[in-house]
Structure 1
Amino acid sequence: MENIVLVCTAGMSTSLLVSKMKEIAGRNNIEINIEALAQSELKSYNKRIDLILLGPQVKYLLNNLERNYKNSETRFDVIDSIHYGTLNGKAVLNQALTLLNKKVI
């Protein structure tokens, strides 16, 4: 099962988006683990991560993440600000599935 982590400043706004993504994944029988973290929690997160999606407000972290995870298979991207702002769980889930080379819904 793939592990996706959404990262924002405090983990609050991404928590709402994660709930919507999990609901849509469940309705479509997609087995995937999705969690929300504050940027400060990411350093101590000790589970395997397949994909990190950054909230638009922390997109500046992208270069550091690519450098820190360069020897891993972890992928990275920034969530579209419109999808983030409207809590479009389906669009963000499809973004994640595309990045993981999975079938989109």
Structure 2
Amino acid sequence: MFEKSKEKGSVWVTLKRSSLKSKLQKRKLSSAGESIEYRCLIRATDAKKTISTSVGAKDHLRFQASYATILKAHMTALKKRERKDRKKSTEAEKKEGTSTTTKPKKL
């Protein structure tokens, strides 16, 4: 999905906590004192196609690591820019005799 929308388009990814049980079943479990096992529901869409999956609590960390590597690989617009060295620019200004920190004199 990321490959298809690389040149033009967007991909929306949502993560949501889910128990995959109805409200009635949740109430019965909570009144009985049993704990509810929550899962993470992940959905991705590019406005044409939608995919979804459910990840358990035990596999959540492994999924997050894989998801992070995918995001880093496909978000090329968020890469750091190469900047000029500040030391070089201040040295060049000193040689020219101009300084950005000097104040103009009042008459």
Q: Same fold (TM over 0.5)?
A: no
TM-score after normalising by structure 1: 0.24
Q: Which one has a bigger Cα radius of gyration? A: 2
TM-score after normalising by structure 2: 0.24
